[in-house]
Structure 1
């Protein structure tokens, strides 16, 4: 079987059932099937072959799924490009796979136009197709002359017009060519540690991930799902959409996440299951209390990133019966999920029969991040209460255990470790640190690069962030380590959102002292007017690490923790110089 085949079985079973809600629109299974057939038939007629690759660059809407489904019916692999990408990052994403065409929404016309000249030189053969959405969405600007037109030398074709008279019959011959192990999609990693990488999602992986979530946390056939997550991301576009395309659930799609409309939408569409990711749950808690908080029918919320510090507050305020916190990565071969509502946990590995699911935590060197091995050269597993890097054993030809990797094969080497469970085997390196209790429940601790060492102790940035955020009424903040000349390890620094310069540093310090050991209290504080949030509601740290604590480089207010006087003092150029010279001891 492949994804289009399974979907067509659902169309036959209930053609008139609503597949997608979007604004005031309803798209039935039959309508999505017919639209996707038109896409498939057009590109087949244009000479596109099984295995060709086309990039899709468009905001959330039912047609987004229908377009890549149509490409899949034609055997074409769709590269789902992050709509926040611009300039060099966008060019990289389109170049790292062998794109023969780019399909983009008219809302992103200017973005594509900005890179057209550069792209046309590096990928001369690429065609451009614009799907016009302006007639339905008032917030998008309609592009004049969208039919086979050009602006500033930018030539593109109107996909709306091109598929208008195309047959909506199913291209059975091409659908039957696709194998269970063929590539279905490329989904890009977030790029928080460099340029995005195109992870391979095969038909088998798409179905397996969706099935695992459905059966592990019990998504029923009559559940209506709500997602405002980007459909180019694994959580919304694969784990979420799979519930509809493979298992027949109705899904309500919102164009972009809105904290003020989240529960209103759930009430409007009678949703019973909702998705979250990153900081979404915290953003919902910051909203003023509303009748909609408990008026909805959502019994299950699933995703990743619900912090243990707000877990109970979230489920209590919004009356959520079950949280399906999960852990996994776009490219990873090992995923776990909280199936029994264990507060704060992201999953479970059996300690009685660990061989049933070959994933584990291995000890890593606190300074280098390298795996610690025993006298035989095998990785050492952590004990209860210890922290280690999450790894999953790679078993080729097993769709549940294979590591499909990236379009750029050179990137695969960094993610594979050898001699893990026994000599000669290999495993996927997640790059994440988790803690396991005596029963096998796992708790996310930090990214390997985020945890830093100070005063001979490891500091979890996530733990410090949670305390700062909670003490400041769920304010955005990030914690990271910065280099200080003459000091071993990295000094902790917190960038805190404070547009109005309203909170009291002394009160914050008092809270930190009552909750944390002294070595975990941030040495430096930076008050910022703006914190960039990724499309998956994460707060990236790379630029802040590079900035350090230099007042000549940073215009935001900077403070240093004076441990002798036990207060934060403002950093000026003189104090900064004294810190660098070692006159001021940290």
Structure 2
């Protein structure tokens, strides 16, 4: 077996396929019967179109009005998707799969060479100038560094134009770049270099669309980051977003995200396609954000993670309402932050998407529908390359139930069970039988990780039919009756308490939305212990695991009234979903985040509810009799764990 997991067809990992002679016989019969069934099929299709469509619409209006209500949305979405897909397929067909990022940028320079491409502080570079600077890097790679096509190079660089020059120049020579986060140090850095194989590899004759453009590390909020492959096709497929959110040649995009992250890399593709400039910031700063946006006359802002939460909790700025921004787009905007962002800053439209660095299960909320990450049309559900599937309760499935991911619920036929409206389930993205084939289809692209076992764990088979293969996102989502889809939680962040499932994301959204509390950031988590994932805090006489919440207050905010907090939670959550412990973070212990502003939970999980491990932070425990959260001292904690104190209610 090859060392590179991506050179191994998915068929090697999949269940045995039917004998080839059956497929050959079926093909022969299909060809022989073609003169008979083809005219008949065309005739039936025309009759259905002429006679059946009005009848279908009438039936829907009478019996399924909710399905019909979403029809205009679905038509708009399909029209935009067809436009973008046509562009993708045209390049693939004309180059026979050899269209690369270097070819893409050459097209852009030919069309928009004299237009501004990159604005960084006081410097503005045109597309032609970016092309020239990247050519210098390409020349250095060959003439001085003696690199060859197929080599892998690591790039550790902050947000600045040289970051783009480097990886763009290297890809012109068929060299893969590993984008290293600037915060990485020591053994973690050594591990990253080893994992991505930063060394001279086998020389390949030509560069293909399915080859790796860059390696990008996942955020690693609860575990070690994994190096994901971003192919040339994946980079180019970002052009679908301008069609989805009506971006045009007059727009100007503001990006303050780390350039080593997928979102920032994809933003370049968007700007290139439209021939518009990207205004690049060195880093995100809540205090200077609106000044940068207003001064540069940006019309589109890209966000990720908790960036928007920082903005709504920042002190007022004279520029926060004097901007030209018409669209915020990105992923990770919490439902409790959404209305506050729109109302405070006067944002006309939010384009929330569901996407991941490596995954192929992508959704887009093109309708400005608050809280949703996208939609799956109930009318067209079979055509979508994604699905929501129910999970088996408290079970494990060998081979595909790793990293805290539960097994799919299976029916009597051995296949998965789709979710009904309002029912949470794991989002899956469809793959074909061969990974190489999938990589030519942007909607089903999963290039995998550099770690073969990590790639294998992300696959699940026999979901909707025998022999199919799907990518596991590890995320719980749910759809409403209209097809709008909402993020629920990471599967590793849900836990059971007294026989009930609790979503940490739901609890965090409620806590963050309590106005009088003045929370700057809230993280709800469960304890990680031992070598395996064990959720919550083990407490005697308690069924299941116990959740906690860490609260970081706004600057100048008073200490929260714990009785009012209890009452607010009681109004919005069932008792079993209340956090049993609350950790009030002091100013010296802020919540640590990733480079994309996602909170890290590992340190919080490790400390749990032990006052000896929380660095002097105030701890509180839920007291149902007092209808409040009361202080938890070291003595009280010891009594609780030993069983001397009555167990939690």
TM-score, shorter chain, exceeding 0.5: yes
Max Rg structure: 2
- Give, in whole Å, the separation in 1 of the partners of 2:162 and 2:146: 22
Is 1:465–2:508 an aligned residue pair? yes
Q: Name the residue aligned to 2:581.
A: 524
Q: Name the residue aligned to 1:72.
A: 171
**Is there any run of 5+ residues in structure 1 with no aligned partner, and where?**
102-124, 126-173
Do the aligned partners of 1:5 and 1:175 also contact (CA within 8 Å) in 2?
A: no
Q: Name the residue aligned to 2:126.
A: 28
- Per the TM alignment, residue 49 of structure 1 is displaced from its structure 2 partner at its CA by 1.0
Change (3 A) 1:60 1:175: farther
Q: Deviations over 1:183-212 (max 9, x none)?
A: 11111111223221111111011111x122
Do the aligned partners of 1:459 and 1:520 also contact (CA within 8 Å) in 2?
A: yes
Q: Name the residue aligned to 1:431.
A: 474
The SS at the match of 1:433 is: strand
Q: Name the residue aligned to 2:56.
A: none
- Per the TM alignment, residue 532 of structure 1 is displaced from its structure 2 partner at its CA by 0.7
- Give, in whole Å, the separation in 2 of the partners of 1:429 and 1:274: 29
Do the aligned partners of 2:519 and 2:551 also contact (CA within 8 Å) in 1?
A: no
Q: Deviations over 1:26-80 (max 9, x none)?
A: 0111111011001011111232111110011111111111110001001100111
- Give, in whole Å, the separation in 1 of the partners of 2:172 and 2:430: 32
- Give, in whole Å, the separation in 2 of the partners of 1:553 and 1:309: 31
Do the aligned partners of 1:223 and 1:272 also contact (CA within 8 Å) in 2?
A: yes
Of residues 271, 279, 283 in structure 2, which corresponds to 1:244? Answer: 271
The SS at the match of 2:520 is: coil
Of residues 496, 503, 512 in structure 2, which corresponds to 1:453? Answer: 496
Of residues 229, 233, 252 in structure 2, which corresponds to 1:204? Answer: 233
Do the aligned partners of 1:282 and 1:310 also contact (CA within 8 Å) in 2?
A: yes
The SS at the match of 2:189 is: helix
Is 1:557–2:618 an aligned residue pair? yes
Q: Name the residue aligned to 1:479.
A: 524
Of residues 530, 551, 561 in structure 2, which corresponds to 1:496? Answer: 551
The SS at the match of 2:199 is: strand
- Per the TM alignment, residue 8 of structure 1 is displaced from its structure 2 partner at its CA by 1.4
Of residues 565, 570, 577 in structure 2, which corresponds to 1:513? Answer: 570
- Per the TM alignment, residue 234 of structure 1 is displaced from its structure 2 partner at its CA by 0.9
Q: Name the residue aligned to 2:12.
A: none
Show the 5 A alignment for 1:395-414.
395=432, 396=435, 397=437, 398-400=440-442, 401-414=444-457
The SS at the match of 1:303 is: strand
- Per the TM alignment, residue 366 of structure 1 is displaced from its structure 2 partner at its CA by 4.1
- Give, in whole Å, the separation in 1 of the partners of 2:290 and 2:638: 51
Change (3 A) 1:176 1:91: closer
Q: Name the residue aligned to 1:233.
A: 261
Q: Name the residue aligned to 1:109.
A: none
Of residues 356, 359, 363 in structure 2, which corresponds to 1:329? Answer: 356
Do the aligned partners of 2:565 and 2:628 also contact (CA within 8 Å) in 1?
A: no
- Give, in whole Å, the separation in 2 of the partners of 1:260 and 1:537: 16
- Give, in whole Å, the separation in 2 of the partners of 1:197 and 1:260: 32
Q: Name the residue aligned to 2:408.
A: 371
Q: Deviations over 1:498-527 (max 9, x none)?
A: 487732222222221222221122111111
Cα RMSD, aligned residues only: 1.9
- Give, in whole Å, the separation in 2 of the partners of 1:312 and 1:366: 35
- Give, in whole Å, the separation in 2 of the partners of 1:519 and 1:361: 26
Choose 393-402 or 303-312, whichever is displaced more.
393-402
Is 1:383–2:406 an aligned residue pair? no
- Per the TM alignment, residue 219 of structure 1 is displaced from its structure 2 partner at its CA by 1.4
Q: Name the residue aligned to 1:166.
A: none
Q: Name the residue aligned to 2:211.
A: 182
Choose 249-258 or 213-222, whichever is displaced more.
213-222
The SS at the match of 1:443 is: strand
More helix, by proportion: 2
Q: Name the residue aligned to 1:585.
A: 647
- Per the TM alignment, residue 249 of structure 1 is displaced from its structure 2 partner at its CA by 2.0
Structure 1 stretches (4+) deviating beyond 4 angstroms? 498-501
- Give, in whole Å, the separation in 1 of the partners of 2:224 and 2:340: 36
- Give, in whole Å, the separation in 1 of the partners of 2:165 and 2:110: 17
Whose RCO is larger (CA < 8 A, sep 6+)?
2
Do the aligned partners of 2:462 and 2:468 also contact (CA within 8 Å) in 1?
A: yes
Do the aligned partners of 1:205 and 1:399 also contact (CA within 8 Å) in 2?
A: no
Change (3 A) 1:275 1:176: farther
Change (3 A) 1:351 1:542: same
- Give, in whole Å, the separation in 2 of the partners of 1:293 and 1:443: 28
**Is there any run of 5+ residues in structure 2 with no aligned partner, and where?**
1-98, 396-405, 527-535
- Give, in whole Å, the separation in 2 of the partners of 1:96 and 1:458: 36
- Per the TM alignment, residue 485 of structure 1 is displaced from its structure 2 partner at its CA by 3.4
- Give, in whole Å, the separation in 2 of the partners of 1:573 and 1:350: 53
The SS at the match of 2:320 is: helix
Is 1:43–2:85 an aligned residue pair? no
- Give, in whole Å, the separation in 2 of the partners of 1:250 and 1:565: 58
Do the aligned partners of 1:349 and 1:357 also contact (CA within 8 Å) in 2?
A: yes
Q: Name the residue aligned to 2:40.
A: none
- Per the TM alignment, residue 573 of structure 1 is displaced from its structure 2 partner at its CA by 2.8
The SS at the match of 2:478 is: strand
- Give, in whole Å, the separation in 2 of the partners of 1:577 and 1:280: 39
Show the 5 A alignment for 1:71-110.
71-100=170-199
Choose 261-270 or 436-445, whichever is displaced more.
261-270
Q: Name the residue aligned to 2:600.
A: 540
Is 1:359–2:386 an aligned residue pair? yes
Change (3 A) 1:14 1:402: closer
- Give, in whole Å, the separation in 2 of the partners of 1:38 and 1:203: 21
- Give, in whole Å, the separation in 1 of the partners of 2:519 and 2:223: 29
- Per the TM alignment, residue 246 of structure 1 is displaced from its structure 2 partner at its CA by 4.0
Show the 5 A alignment for 1:96-245.
96-100=195-199, 177-208=206-237, 210-237=238-265, 239-245=266-272
- Per the TM alignment, residue 268 of structure 1 is displaced from its structure 2 partner at its CA by 1.4
Change (3 A) 1:422 1:224: same
Q: Name the residue aligned to 2:288.
A: 261
- Give, in whole Å, the separation in 2 of the partners of 1:51 and 1:311: 44
- Give, in whole Å, the separation in 2 of the partners of 1:571 and 1:263: 41
